[in-house]
Amino acid sequence: MRQRLPKLIDRLLLRLFGIVPRTVLRWLPGSSRSFGPPRRWQDWRGYRARHSLNWSVVVPAHEERLPPPFFCSDTGVPFRKGKTVRWDDAGVAEIPGGRILDQHGWVVGAGDTFLGDFCQMGLAWHSAANRIVSLRRPQKLSGRILNLATAWAASNFFHYTIDGVGRWALVRRTGSRWEDFDRIVLPALRTPATAMIERALEIPGDRVIRPAHRGQFECDCLVQPSFPGAAGLTPGWVTEFYREVFPPVETSRRRRRIFLVREGRRQPLDRAWLQTVAAEAGFETIDPLSTPDFRERLSEASHVLAVHGAGLANLIFCAPGTRVLELVPSEVARHPFFSTYFYSFCATAGMPYGIVVGRSLVERRRPFDSQKMSDYELRRDDVLRGIAALLEQ
């Protein structure tokens, strides 16, 4: 019982903090330093209006019209007719005494105020930051601390690449260098691909620190770049940055047709048939987890057929003009936010995009529920028509 009781209490508190209104959190004793979620939540605009802070705008707010996909097999896709996006100001903030919570890199300012703008859907009431039960004692970090950790980047390559490390593009545009920071907080995810990116960016390993589950840092001065874009939307400055780091090959060499697959759950049911059809159309199969030269191959791609998943973040290695057809489960393709991840990624990066939707065997009931990660069934006719549209000149 002594071993099980604390775990039971944690589960009960986790459920409680996930359903109570945020205004109730202010009445809890103490602060998130000891237990529970941050007691206050505020957007960045309101917070900086109340505090004297350094805030450098790097990419001013602007509006952009994203084109419709060249192929769409499902009328339930929200962006089938294109999408108009309003990008907020993107810049770099300096927050004296700021804290970084958990492996998700959540940002907390004065008065135990959670600044949700700096992470994915952070200000939504169902944000995972609202379900913190307890954290370890804060680890104090002296000097200027750059935070590139963010929600889900500790376990997901897309969030690591785009939402996290991609923010260095903003910091670099302010004229800062790695040497200007005493510590650099990076997502905990470690794979051959993340190691390749960190080497290419020449991140000094002796200054890197990675947040752990239930850990927290208290910084003398927290340097915090903006979240790239908005929920499910990737701005063009992220891919521009990666193309500077990994320049695409010359146009004359971009002739490869790539079938980008993934491992794990949430797979198309008829994978053997897909492999055959892709091979007959001249596509070579690549799994980034097992293909050593996948970056070079993607940089030479003219066409990409891709199974939906975080591995599509590897499209940062493709050149402008590369045509992309994504195979997506319906529980993702019809979602108001999650459906636009790779559509906006390709649209802002100058890569024509198409989508084939397959029926998920298990659907989420509400938009903010966790993904069911179930397999999905693609109609063969949809796939064939999508590939034909992909290969049109």
Specify the CATH architecture of the domain 246-390: 3-Layer(aba) Sandwich (3.40)
What proportion of the chain, given as a percentage, has pLDDT over 70? 92
Q: Where are the alpha helices (DSSP H) in the chain?
A: 4-19, 22-25, 44-50, 157-158, 168-173, 192-200, 236-245, 271-280, 294-299, 330-333, 341-348, 380-390
Say yes or no to pLDDT of 7 above 80: no
Least confident of 17-31, 118-132, 169-183, 343-357: 17-31
Phi–psi pair at 302, nearest 5 degrees? -100, -30
Q: What is the pLDDT of residues 85-104, one digit of tens each?
A: 999 999 999 999 999 999 99
Greater pLDDT, 57 or 6: 57
Greater pLDDT, 251 or 300: 300
Say yes or no to pLDDT of 370 above 90: no
Q: What is the pLDDT of residues 311-342, one digit of tens each?
A: 999 999 999 999 999 999 999 998 877 889 99
Q: What is the pLDDT of residues 236-246, one digit of tens each?
A: 999 999 999 99
Look up residue 387 and give its two tokens: 């590939």
Q: Which of 169, 31, 371 has its CA nearest to residue 161? A: 169
Q: Are 131 and 37 in contact (CB under 8 A)?
A: yes
Say yes or no to pLDDT of 366 above 90: no
Query: CA 70, CA 81: separation in Å to the nearest integer?
Result: 10
Helix axis angle, 380-390 relative to 271-280, nearest 10°? 30
The residue extents of the domains of the chain are: 4-64+87-231, 246-390
pTM of the model: 0.90
Place of tokens 């499910």: 232
Place of tokens 């009328």: 75
* Average pLDDT score over residue span 174-194: 96
With a CB cutoff of 8 Å and minimum separation 6, the contacts of 353 are 69, 70, 323, 324, 325, 326, 342, 343, 346, 347
